[in-house]
């Protein structure tokens, strides 16, 4: 059976959300799905990108065969209703890969309005069981498939594992992500915590040394620079990757912290791809996947991290590394989405 998708323009190659969607397109193509729209592009200008998307989507909907299967990605700003209307006119079966739920992200107060945009599909693919349960609580009755973790595609193959990543202390903990207000301002508080077992290596746009709370030479924070999403994996070196959002070291607080209870942060996949076990907030939805597969550790408060790492044996670390090695092979090959799409196809 031939399925279809519609490629589009993505503004930024530094953006994790854009990387996740372009990877989904690549995996669908590898599975035999055909792109009906224009070739994927990365025009940074919003107006030009929107115009290109409109004409590309319109062309794709004209080409879309009757009673075929269309795989869409949500959100699709401005054009979701247009795509769904034409797909229904042509009596197509629609599978939707859900990347973000704006209501859960605190971006809108109307869950029902957003649900209408999503559940017009015949099946949806969501991040994890926590997100699936939320949809079930909203009385969604279409098939809901759990992804598990996002894949991360690299054209140049798996990153080479560096020789220093053997579990010696002090550990080098990697954090990758843009440094904006509220998203990860807790980073600068790490210098004030009692710690002896780790140092931090930071990757991303917007880091400001002026925000350090101790002199630069005394800081455990070391800024490594910003790189496009398909390059950064080859630059990261360390012992662990940190998944922690918000303004507090005590818990993942605020709207970013609340969203961690439902979403799979794309940086989790990046860390595993780089061969790094993951440190994650124990209330984050992705912590279940990490612990069940022994891919890292979960903690409730960053003040406890140094003691947890102090008590971590080299054998425990190597076991996590071995499991990470298995998962990274599946992540780079698109295995998780492949499994989920096949389950969705079987369900409709």
- CA 81 from chain center: how many Å? 24
13, pLDDT greater than 60 = no
pLDDT, greater one: 315 or 255: 315
- CA 302 from chain center: how many Å? 22
- Please state, rounded to an integer, the average pLDDT across all residues of the chain: 91
Radius of gyration of the chain (CA): 21
Tell the CATH topology of 3-151+334-347. Rossmann fold (3.40.50)
Task: Please give the pLDDT value at position 166.
Answer: 64
Which has the minimum average pLDDT: 12-21, 135-144, 288-297, 323-332? 12-21
Instruction: Catalogue the E-assigned strands of the chain.
Output: 3-5, 34-35, 69-74, 93-98, 123-126, 144-146, 171-176, 198-203, 221-225, 240-243, 278-281, 296-299
Alpha-helical (H) ranges within 97-237 are 111-118, 129-137
Indicate the helix (H) or strand (E) that contains 346.
helix 335-347
Which has the minimum average pLDDT: 88-97, 98-107, 317-326? 98-107
pLDDT band at 12 (very low <50, low <70, confident <90, very high): low
Task: Please give the pLDDT value at position 165.
Answer: 59
Q: What is the pTM of this model?
A: 0.91
Indicate the helix (H) or strand (E) that contains 27.
helix 16-31
CATH superfamily of 171-331: Glycogen Phosphorylase B; (3.40.50.2000)
- Rounded Cα–Cα distance for residues 248 and 142 (Å): 38
pLDDT, greater one: 166 or 26: 26
Task: Please give the pLDDT value at position 17.
Answer: 62
Phi, psi of 108 (to 5 degrees): -150, 150
How many beta carbons lie within 10 A of that of residue 235, not counting itself?
14
Per-residue pLDDT tens over the stretch 160-202:
876 555 667 789 999 998 887 667 889 999 999 987 789 999 9
Task: Please give the pLDDT value at position 185.
Answer: 85
* Bond from prior residue into 75 cis (ω within 30 degrees of 0): yes
Task: Please give the pLDDT value at position 129.
Answer: 97
Q: Give yes or no for a contact between 6 and 83, defined as CB atoms under 8 angstroms apart.
A: yes
Residues of the chain with CATH 3.40.50.2000: 3-151+334-347, 171-331
Q: Tokens at residue 7, please?
A: 């490629």
Indicate the helix (H) or strand (E) that contains 272.
helix 266-273
Q: Which residues contact 289 (CB under 8 A, 6 or more apart)?
A: 128, 148, 149, 264, 295
């Amino acid at each position: 059976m031939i399925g279809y998708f519609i490629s589009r323009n993505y503004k930024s190659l530094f953006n994790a959300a854009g990387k996740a969607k372009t990877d989904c397109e690549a995996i669908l193509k590898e599975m035999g799905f055909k792109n009906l729209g224009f070739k994927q592009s990365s025009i940074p200008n919003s107006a030009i990108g929107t115009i290109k998307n409109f004409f590309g989507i319109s062309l794709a909907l004209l080409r879309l065969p009757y009673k075929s299967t269309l795989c869409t990605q949500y959100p699709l700003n401005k054009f979701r209703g247009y795509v769904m209307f034409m797909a229904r006119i042509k009596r197509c079966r629609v599978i939707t890969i859900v990347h973000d739920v704006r209501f859960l992200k605190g971006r809108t107060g109307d869950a029902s309005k957003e649900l209408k945009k999503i559940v017009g599909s015949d099946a949806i693919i969501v991040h994890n069981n926590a997100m699936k349960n939320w949809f079930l609580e909203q009385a969604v009755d279409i098939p809901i498939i759990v992804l598990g973790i996002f894949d991360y595609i690299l054209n140049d193959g798996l990153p080479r594992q560096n020789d220093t990543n053997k579990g010696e202390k002090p550990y080098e903990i990697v954090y990758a992500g843009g440094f904006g207000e509220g998203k990860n301002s807790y980073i600068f508080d790490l210098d004030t915590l009692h710690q002896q077992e780790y140092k931090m290596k930071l990757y991303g746009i917007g880091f400001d040394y002026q925000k350090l709370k101790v002199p630069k030479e005394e800081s455990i924070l070391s800024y490594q620079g910003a790189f496009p999403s398909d390059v950064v994996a080859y630059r990261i070196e360390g012992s662990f990757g940190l998944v922690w959002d918000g303004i507090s070291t005590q818990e993942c607080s605020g709207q970013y912290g609340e969203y961690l209870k439902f979403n799979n942060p794309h940086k989790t996949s990046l860390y595993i791809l780089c061969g790094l076990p993951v440190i994650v907030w124990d209330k984050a939805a992705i912590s279940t996947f990490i612990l069940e597969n022994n891919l890292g550790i979960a903690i409730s408060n960053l003040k406890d991290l140094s003691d947890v790492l102090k008590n971590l044996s080299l054998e425990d670390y190597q076991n996590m590394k071995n499991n990470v090695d298995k998962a990274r092979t599946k992540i780079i090959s698109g295995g998780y989405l492949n499994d989920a799409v096949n389950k969705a196809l079987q369900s409709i």
